[in-house]
Amino acid sequence: MVFRTLRSAALASSLLAANIVILTLFLNPEARLVRDGSALLLCLFVPYVVLGTVAFFALGLAAAATGWRPVRPPVDGLPWFTTMALVALSLSSGLHWLNLFGYRHSIPPEFVRAMAASAVTVTGAALVLMAISIDTFLFPRRGRWMAAPLAILASASAVVVPLALKPAPGPPPRPVPVATDRVQPTRRIILIGIDGLGPAMVDDGVARGTLPILGRLLKRGSYGPLATLRPTEGPPVWTSIFTGRLPRDHGIKSFEAYRLRGSPTVFELLPKGAFVSALERAGLVSTEPLGAASRKRRALWNALNAFGIRSGIVRFWGTHPPEKVQGFMLSSAFHLLGHERSGDPQPLFPPDLLAEARTRIVQPSDVDPALLAQFVDLSVDLPSDPVPWKRELVERALAPDMTYQRAGSLLRSAYDPPFFATYFYGLDVVGHSFLRYARPEVFGNVPPKEARRYGHVIDRYLTLLSQWVGDLERGLRPGEILLVVSAYGMEPAPLWRRTLGWVGGGPALGGTHDGGPDGLLIAVGDGIRPGVAVSSASVLDIAPTVLYLMGLPVARDMEGRVLTEILDDDFARAHPVAFVPSYESLAVTPVAGTADPRVVPMDEETP
């Protein structure tokens, strides 16, 4: 009985492990079972078979110890197999649907359809096993001749059919050549990226009078929610913002890529919910960061440069090492200057102002204690800090954001590019750690003293960011437009996640954006209609809208649209929307150049 139970456990866990391998193949269209089969076997299949066998075998022995034995197993010689296989396929079905929903924007459409059919197949197989298990439980002594064939057929189909459904990746479309010439931009654009800022946070702050600067911007310009993409991670969403393409096209699908031990293939995704971090700790999976070279599509600055329009990019994801652009690019690793290893690339292109930019770096120890006192009420004495607030607030949020605000101002003054984009990540950081103290009524288990000590961190941080936004808005010149863009918002972590974190002994969870809360868009400036409530906008609309506002054609292979509702009538009539097939075949640098691309007035950019 013990050996037969062990055999049932091994077979059932093989079903789960096989489906994890199949999911990996769906999520990585370039992976091949023939080429990568040994690595998939070693790094994914075998670990899950071993762990699943132990878990199922322990459950079988526990059931037997309580006297609960199967009187009539549907499959002779395999006690508990139907029940174990039901659990395995139920977990497999859940993983299929979770990854299908979470990564539907990250894999090609034909793979999405095939993955949906695979999820239906696995779910159907689980339902068949459930029916057999219910019949066995209700009628333990009545044999069914079809039970064994159905159980075996359902289990086998949950592996064979998904493998057969996986399509072969098609060849990439050939880009259509597009000729460019130097043009004078119709408008100059300042884009400020702020993660973790949603419409509800702005509306609440404006209503309470704590965000008067943003309140003024809402009246002066257009404003509304910005639908985000799943997964709501900075690199894929911001790359979509700057390319107008979905992650399945631009190739940035997460914070990092994966390598399986023994395989030369770079896996862009591994199944969500499959405890990949445990495989990393075991040394079976390694990760590598994604950079500018990982992006497969042209970004906004590439398109602008092809028309001779300079750009200044500060800190955004995928800017390290910085690209060789017309204008400048300050990488997201700049604030770590001094910690780099020998041979690391310079964090600024061109590097001629690097020494001066270095003086703008703010170390955590440089942050004024008087400023910190505005965030954290240090007069409230706690026996121990429930959150490492200095690390989260000072080291990860304030010091880096202040660094890029100061360095970005220096570089923008020196180069004065027609397109300037800078990014602040600190609100996202403090949202994860401090939202529970800002909204204790939602979480319910926040002591009053902790709420008093940390309850104003998020409000104060947003006030600081709004001051920086206000400085840029007050400095707008004729022909300039300010765009405030948030890739996603922040919401309280759901109860089940907070419970899992508490059971696991982790830190108390605050905010999360896993549910894909909306970001926002605020547009202010010359040509923007005031007081317009933007609706049905998404992060994919930013690139087409920026191209249009600057007088360039929109690529038809972009997924988004021009947000014409934010334009005043005179500007829209004078500037009809033009299109080109694609920007993918552009020559990034036009033939004609300028003697000094650093300081060129807007009215002298056309040769």
pLDDT at 593: 34
Does the pLDDT at position 66 exceed 90? no
Give CA–CA dist 473/467, Å, rounded. Answer: 10
Does the pLDDT at position 581 exceed 80? yes
Q: Are strands 579-580 and 519-525 parallel, antiparallel or unpaired?
A: unpaired
Kindly report the pTM of this predicted structure. Answer: 0.87
Give CA–CA dist 186/550, Å, rounded. Answer: 5
Does the pLDDT at position 69 exceed 50? yes
pLDDT at 347: 93
- Please write the tens of the pLDDT for every residue from 455-485: 999 999 999 999 999 999 999 999 999 999 9
Which of 61-65, 211-215, 325-329 has the lowest average pLDDT?
61-65
User: Three-state SS string across 200-242, please?
Assistant: HHHHHHHHHCCCHHHHHHHHHCEEEEEECCCCCCHHHHHHHHH
pLDDT at 529: 94
pLDDT at 535: 87
- Please write the tens of the pLDDT for every residue from 125-141: 999 999 888 877 776 65
Per-residue pLDDT, averaged over 396-409, amounts to 97
Which of 168-177, 182-191, 316-325, 577-586 has the lowest average pLDDT?
168-177
Sign, Cα dihedral of 444, 487, 245, 168: negative
Give CA–CA dist 579/557, Å, rounded. Answer: 10
pLDDT at 156: 93
Q: In the predicted model, what is the mean pLDDT of the chain?
A: 87
- Please write the tens of the pLDDT for every residue from 520-566: 999 999 999 999 999 899 999 999 999 999 999 999 999 999 999 99
Q: Which residues contact 500 (CB under 8 A, 6 or more apart)?
A: none
- Please write the tens of the pLDDT for every residue from 486-517: 999 999 988 877 777 666 666 677 889 888 89
pLDDT at 33: 85
pLDDT at 386: 81
Does the pLDDT at position 50 exceed 90? yes
Report which of residues 197 and 586 the model is more confident about: 197
Query: What are the start-end ranges of the E strands in 378-515?
Result: 419-424, 480-486, 491-492, 511-512
